[in-house]
Structure 1
Amino acid sequence: MALNFKYLTAKLAQQIDEELMSTAGAFSIEQLMELAGLACAQTLARVYNKDKYPRVLVCCGPGNQGGDGLVAARHLGMFGYQPTIYMPKPGSKDIYQRLKTQCDNMKIHTIPPSNAVDDLKAALASSDVILDAIFGFSFKPPIRAPFDSVLPLLTESKLPIVSVDIPSGWDVEKGNAEGVGLQPDVLISLTAPKEGVRQFGGRHFLGGRFIPKALEEKFGLNLPEYPGSDQIVELPRTKL
């Protein structure tokens, strides 16, 4: 396994995403979300067996990160888990709405927006693990409403947390410097790890098995090999 993979700044992560969806990569946003969400679902399933952790609370933000979460919720349902979707602020884009409809069609429960905080507390009390897909690499502190009341509740629940790409509340380059972000047990980085998670000490996976060799070489990503047909690969633990 390559140990000297590149950590991405926000600017570089954005540039790679743009190239993936340009003629260089020729991917659609739908393709990338589907592959990313599948990797997220596989990571949770790898660490938290459905026999012991069947009830997954999938917390989705309004952007592409939330879209990844909705895809993951659908796959988790197919894997035999019992996902519940919580959206503090639902996304307005057409792709987000279609992903949500796909989950509705699978009879995956979504917490209604009314009285959301009390409903979130009840959902946390009846969940086994959290999938955090709230903020992506474009997030910049401070945390604003309604998320400023949501993140503390997730932390106070003491449930294990799997974060997508960057733990919610962390700066993509400075990490949890302000101390307001989630402290997940597991992180699934997408494309390549971000600068802010260099010191992350939990179990760390890489997902998004879609980077063309040409782009990997162009940006010097030096990605590890994915084993067999897996969509994820576990990275060595950081020594703190």
Structure 2
Amino acid sequence: MPSADQLYSVAEIREAERRAMAEHGIAGAVMMARAGAAAFEQIRRHWPERRRLTVICGAGNNAGDGYVVARLALLAGYRVDVHALSDSARLPVDAADAAERYFQAGGRVEALGDSLPGDSVVVDALLGIGLSRPVSEPYASAIAAINASAAPVVALDVPSGLDADTGNVLGCAVAADLTVTFIGLKRGLLTGFAADYCGEVLCDSLALPSEVLAGAGSIYRLTKTPPSPRPRVAHKGHCGHVLAVGGNLGYSGAIRLAGEAALRTGAGLVSIATRAVHSAVLNLGRPELMCHGVESSADLASLLDKASVVVVGPGLGQDAWARTMFAAVLASGKPCVVDADALNLLASRSERRDHWILTPHPGEAARLLGSTTGQVGADRFAALVSLQQRYGGVCVLKGAGSLVGDGERIYVSSTGNPGMASGGMGDVLAGLLGGLLAQGWSALEAARLGVYVHGEAADRLALRHGERGLLAGDLPAEIRELLN
């Protein structure tokens, strides 16, 4: 059985299939039969009241999975409509055999019309995991027909048109309600645009021996490791001192959010270094924040001496003051979280360190790599690897399915929601990561836990109140509950 939290590339899944056949004598037709049976079982579980199935088959082995589903449904007394975009005689051997068995059971194939019946369950068996180029006709029209249907949609292995390695849409893609994937969980089902197309994702190992995936995979789904209880004798000196640097003119809110998040995460002390005009009012309503007006590197030096961790970037700006503050933070050699405008300033320097966490969104990542947001989005995994190789430490590439990497492993977050598309969310994450670092977590442990909890806090709030109107300032109290 594959690990429930391990993710695989298409190449690794192909190799697992080869090993299953060559080393364990499991025929491709057997795996296809198991895949179809697993998918049909999930259809019955999810929509027990529906007794009609519409299966759309393409030209490869994914079509064979679809024919297996169709035959099983037919034998179970369902009304079954199969629409094929390829003559069954031209399918690969195992898929052609699955089609023939469907015909022998009394099934037939019809031309795909302009609309699909709304009272059925639609099964997407068009393209599978091997797609690497934009969807062409007649597949694009078939995908459009599926997406126009009012019926629930089940994708076999991957929604057709979605890149199973990157989560990108190759021109167009099926928007499924359920994706039943096979052998191992594909990495592209949890990041990029996948959330808009996969629906619920379930993985069936097809009862293959675990050995077929041995040695594969350095990518994992992010899970939460609950913190241990504090010693009863703990005091604030044991819990670290976070210094948050930022809040340039007009942007005091960003550094306030970061500071409060660090407090709610459990940091013993939190100081804020900001523009002097903000310092007297920034902690109104949150007196636990120690706010200091800082206008020069000399002003910052004593605060840096006292800090165990520095969060730099929220509301920092990119003017002369910002550059002075950022240079002083780097010169201090303190462990740090680098976020927002500090990342933009970092893009113009040649710095590589092992004890920092970088938290770019795709635009910031593009500037750090000297590329474009399109290039970053085309392969988020490759972009993360490039960031870590160039800058060291632990990198967090934010976005739907945020990625965390340290050069050895990559973790993909399954928490978070579109309600987080509002100002200040990244500032809260930066403070959260800083608070965890200050309490003794390693950079990788802090990033893994912090990214997961940040998204989970937003998910819990969205479940109670909805996604629209979710504010960054809503998260710190929820983060506190989750960490406890």
* Alignment TM-score, normalising by the size of structure 2: 0.42
- Residues 1:13 and 2:27 are matched in the alignment: no
Checking the alignment, whether the CA contact within 8 Å between 2:134 and 2:171 is kept in structure 1 is: no
Report Cα offsets for 1:161-192 as digits up to 9, x if no partner: 00011100101112244561111000101001
Secondary structure at the residue paired with 2:184? coil
2:212 aligns with one of 212, 215, 224:
215
Secondary structure at the residue paired with 2:55? strand
| 4+ residue runs over 4 A deviation | none
Whichever residue aligns with residue 114 of structure 2, its letter is K
Task: Give me the whole-angstrom Cα distance separating, in 1, the residues matched to 2:36 and 2:205.
Answer: 9
Q: Which residue is equivalent to 1:121?
A: 114
Whichever residue aligns with residue 192 of structure 1, its letter is G
Q: Which residue is equivalent to 2:175?
A: 183
Task: Give me the whole-angstrom Cα distance separating, in 1, the residues matched to 2:109 and 2:94.
Answer: 17
- More relative contact order in 1 or in 2 (CA 8 Å, sep 6+)? 1
Report Cα offsets for 1:15-64 as digits up to 9, x if no partner: 11111111x22111111111111111111111111xx3111101111111
Structure 1, unaligned runs of 5 or more: 222-236
Shift of 1:153: 1.1
Task: Give me the whole-angstrom Cα distance separating, in 2, the residues matched to 1:138 and 1:178.
Answer: 12
Task: Give me the whole-angstrom Cα distance separating, in 2, the residues matched to 1:176 and 1:156.
Answer: 21
Task: Give me the whole-angstrom Cα distance separating, in 2, the residues matched to 1:138 and 1:3.
Answer: 22
User: After superposition, where does 1:43-54 map in structure 2 within 5 Å?
Assistant: 43-49=42-48, 52-54=49-51
Shift of 1:108: 2.1
The CA RMSD over aligned residues, in Å, is 2.5
The structure with more helix, counted as a fraction of residues: 2
Secondary structure at the residue paired with 2:129? coil
Task: Give me the whole-angstrom Cα distance separating, in 1, the residues matched to 2:83 and 2:137.
Answer: 15
Checking the alignment, whether the CA contact within 8 Å between 1:61 and 1:90 is kept in structure 2 is: no
Q: Which residue is equivalent to 2:190?
A: 198
Report Cα offsets for 1:101-137 as digits up to 9, x if no partner: 21122222311xxxx3xx4235x13651101111111
Give 1 or 2 for the bigger CA radius of gyration: 2
Task: Give me the whole-angstrom Cα distance separating, in 2, the residues matched to 1:155 and 1:197.
Answer: 18
- Residues 1:169 and 2:168 are matched in the alignment: no
% identical aligned pairs = 21
Structure 2, unaligned runs of 5 or more: 219-412, 418-484
Checking the alignment, whether the CA contact within 8 Å between 1:165 and 1:193 is kept in structure 2 is: no
Q: Which residue is equivalent to 2:127?
A: 135
Shift of 1:3: 7.3
Using a 3 Å threshold, how does the CA distance of structure 1 residues 184 and 97 change in structure 2: closer, same or farther?
A: same
Whichever residue aligns with residue 198 of structure 1, its letter is L
- Tell me how many residue pairs correspond in the alignment: 216
* Alignment TM-score, normalising by the size of structure 1: 0.80
Shift of 1:6: 1.6
Using a 3 Å threshold, how does the CA distance of structure 1 residues 127 and 90 change in structure 2: closer, same or farther?
A: farther
